[in-house]
Amino acid sequence: MADLRKKVAENVGGEFFVDSTCIDCDTCRQLAPAVFAEAALYSYVHAQPRHADEVRAAVRALLACPVGSIGTVHRADVKSVMDDFPMQIEGPVYYCGFAAPDSYGAASYFIRHREGNWLIDSPRAVTHLMRRLEQMGGLRYIFLTHRDDVADAASFARRFGAMRIIHRRDLSAQPDAELVIDGEPPVEIGPDFRIIPTPGHSPGHCVLHFAGRYLFTGDHLWWSAQRQRLDAWRLSGRDAWQQQTASMRRLVDESFEWVLPGHGGRIRLPHGEMRQAVAALVERMRA
């Protein structure tokens, strides 16, 4: 629960605030960009909500925050937005909310599908979210992009009898996973799902290509709103960066319109523009 006495200095005055426990995970800035902005190492309130839609977005951010760093001067009506999650992004694709501190607030996603629903990476195992997923048809698969963002995947697997999918090189994060990916060839699961190993950020990192339109990228690829371009996290040494660059090159020939990352911005671009954006990123990485 956020502490008004610990609010960061950059907050503008008013109802909403961010305190010093913020971990700069980007959750609030994704959900309510009109209200929250980024300082050096944390988020802050750069403008108080001006109308009902912005208030609702800010309360969603408060609810989704993995470490409870967002607060209000008066009690917020959190219950009024709980049913907003999972929140539809487009068509069968939803953002789960309820980010988990164990995965540093990474975004997780839900796909409704006629042959069984998917969870991509794991949110917190919140009872309300589990009930909502049950109402939406439960889960058949839990795809884990890499070892950092497994969070409460085991709890969701037990609740729904779902199969967790992870690459063998990251298996230590979920040693009892039901479906283990090996090597680097892509793996097809049904007609619409293609798992593409993309080692670099972690040895077993993978992305999920869905329906020729959506790419769930974990920590491999994301959109920088500040730079208005695709970008990649460089958190490892030179060999891992070269490996990640080679993995990124594999995506140039894939056809998709959406980049849906664990961390960083989501973006939709037409297929041709997306291909050019990925190719430009590969050149920057090589340089």
Find all residues with CB under 8 Å of 167, minimum gap 6, and list them: 146, 180, 181, 182, 197, 203, 204, 205, 206
Q: Is 107 exposed, middle or buried (0-12, 13-18, 19+ CB in 10 A)?
A: buried
Which domains can be identified in the chain, with CATH numbers? Answer: 4-70 (3.30.70.20), 84-286 (3.60.15.10)
pLDDT, average across residues 20-49:
96
pLDDT, average across residues 46-57:
97
pLDDT, average across residues 82-107:
96
Please say if the pLDDT value at position 236 is more than 70.
Answer: no
Does residue 187 contact residue 209 with C-beta atoms inside 8 Å? no
pLDDT-derived band of residue 238, with 50, 70 and 90 as boundaries?
Answer: confident
What pLDDT is stored for residue 40 in this prediction? 87
pLDDT-derived band of residue 276, with 50, 70 and 90 as boundaries?
Answer: very high
Find all residues with CB under 8 Å of 187, minimum gap 6, and list them: 181, 194, 195
What pLDDT is stored for residue 23 in this prediction? 96
DSSP sequence for the chain? ---GGGB-TTPPSSSEEEBTT----SHHHHH-TTTEEE-SSSEEESS---SHHHHHHHHHHHHH-TT--EEESS---GGGGGGG-SEEEETTEEE-----GGGTT---EEE--TT--EEES-----HHHHHHHHHTT--SEEE--SGGG-TTHHHHHHHHTPEEEEEGGGGGGSTT-SEEE-SSS-EEETTTEEEEE-TTSSTT-EEEEETTTEEEEETT-EEETTTTEEE----S-HHHHHHHHHHHHHHTTS--SEEEESSSB-EE--HHHHHHHHHHHHHHHH-
Q: What is the mean pLDDT of the chain?
A: 96
How far does CA 15 lie from the centroid of its chain?
A: 27
pLDDT-derived band of residue 249, with 50, 70 and 90 as boundaries?
Answer: very high
**Region of poorest pLDDT, from 70-74, 179-183, 233-237:** 233-237
| CB-CB neighbours of 116 under 10 Å | 17
Please say if the pLDDT value at position 283 is more than 70.
Answer: yes
What pLDDT is stored for residue 226 in this prediction? 87
Q: Over the stretch 158-178, which tens digit does the pLDDT of each residue have?
A: 999 999 999 999 999 999 999
Interior/surface letters 251-269, b for 16+ CB within 10 angstroms, e for the rest: beebebbbbbbbbbbbbbb
What pLDDT is stored for residue 29 in this prediction? 95
Share of the chain above pLDDT 90, in %: 93
What pLDDT is stored for residue 160 in this prediction? 98
Q: Over the stretch 103-148, which tens digit does the pLDDT of each residue have?
A: 999 999 999 999 999 999 999 999 999 999 999 999 999 999 999 9
